[in-house]
Amino acid sequence: MSIAVIGSNMVDLISYITRMPEEGETIEAPDFRLGCGGKGANQAIVAARLGSEVVMVTRVGDDLFAENTIRNFAENGIDTTHVLRTEGSSGVAPIFVDQQSHNSIIIVKGANNQLSADDIEAAADRIKECKLIVLQLEIPLETVYAAVAFGKEHGIPVLLNPAPAAPDLVLDRVKSCDFIVPNETELSLLTGMPVESEDDIRNAAAVLLNVGIKNVIVTLGSRGVYWTDGEREEFFAATKVQARDTTGAGDAFIGCFSHVWVKTGDIAKSLEAAGLYAGDSVTRLGTQTSYANAQEFKAKYPEVDL
């Protein structure tokens, strides 16, 4: 049972800083990590590390990063048949993490900007074998819409993570999604509504349900997760952890949710597992370097059904 991730890959350049520099100022950062990232790739890596078969549909550049990204997918057991090459730069993401573990991310989409609807068609036979299509917004919106339409045409459930927030996302063109998974900021941007209180979140989520999306899952960081399908709803509390680096925690959540949901079809179980998995990831530095494999996660949370 496999998962298709149609999305981005980036090279993360993470500087651990004590503060942001002022304009014209040079400051020293105590630590730095270079690693594989990109929301699509991160979600794919998590699902693969937990045991899913994953096919990645993405584009890398023709620079020194490209080979490493492809090797990283392959080493994690991901099908790289549809990792395509493009002239120019691969995606890169300079990231700054402060001492409170808050991050600021700049993305340079590079080759990700060239991923097209034709690339989805070229991978059609493989994607049709999948039980879930997972999407984010670091590729052109037209490609996202094409992937949503592909899922609908072939009866494959689609999960959309509307990140990073894109004000020009047309909700009507993603209304056939089975899951939309925004964080609070993205929810507010998508709906134009406040998201301060539980009632605010409920009301904003209702806007997405009214468009036609089947399930709305709102990640609320240390406040947990809200889920509704219009008939039922639940707030899931987050486990308390000592956060060191929250970069990629949302991707950890989505990768784990996708893996457990494809395996069990049980949304509550999948949300609980994803919350624990994302919580575990923030206790380690880096993006993909912070993601546990199935064995490591099981050792910490033996009650989770992977």
Query: What b/e readout covers 38-74, taking b as 16+ CB neighbours within 10 angstroms?
Result: bbbbbbbbbbbbbebbbbbbbbbbebebbeebbebbe
Q: Which stretch binds ligand RIB (CB under 6 A): 26-34, 125-133, 179-187, 242-250?
A: 242-250
What does the alpha-carbon distance between residue 190 and residue 207 come to, in Å, rounded to a whole number?
Answer: 9
The SS3 of residue 235 is strand
Are 258 and 278 in contact by the 8 Å Cβ rule? The answer is: no
Q: For residue 274, state whether it binds ligand RIB (rule: CB under 6 A).
A: no
Size of the site for ligand RIB (CB under 6 A): 15
Give the nearer residue to ligand RIB in terms of CB position, either 43 or 215.
43
- Active-site annotation holds for 251: yes
The per-residue DSSP string of 6-36 comes to ES--EEEEEEE-SSPPPTT-----SEEEEEE
- Candidates 17, 42, 180, 190; binder of ligand RIB (CB under 6 A) is 42
User: Within 10 A of 214 (CB to CB), how many other CB atoms are there?
Assistant: 16
Instruction: Classify the C-alpha dihedral 50-56-65-112 as positive or negative.
Output: negative
Question: Whole-number minimum distance, CB 103 to ligand RIB, in Å?
Answer: 8
Q: For residue 61, state whether it binds ligand RIB (rule: CB under 6 A).
A: no
Give the nearer residue to ligand RIB in terms of CB position, either 228 or 290.
290
Q: Which stretch binds ligand RIB (CB under 6 A): 46-54, 120-128, 168-176, 248-256?
A: 248-256
The SS3 of residue 263 is helix
Give the nearer residue to ligand RIB in terms of CB position, either 11 or 208.
11
What's the token pair of residue 134?
């997972």
Q: For residue 251, state whether it binds ligand RIB (rule: CB under 6 A).
A: yes
Give the nearer residue to ligand RIB in terms of CB position, either 157 or 250.
250
- Candidates 47, 55, 83, 105; binder of ligand RIB (CB under 6 A) is 105
What does the alpha-carbon distance between residue 93 and residue 102 come to, in Å, rounded to a whole number?
Answer: 16
Which residue in the list 79, 119, 251, 280 is annotated as catalytic?
251
Q: Which residues are marked as active site? A: 251
Give the interface with ligand RIB as residue ranges (CB under 6 A).
Answer: 10, 12, 37-39, 42, 93, 105, 107, 138, 247-248, 250-251, 287
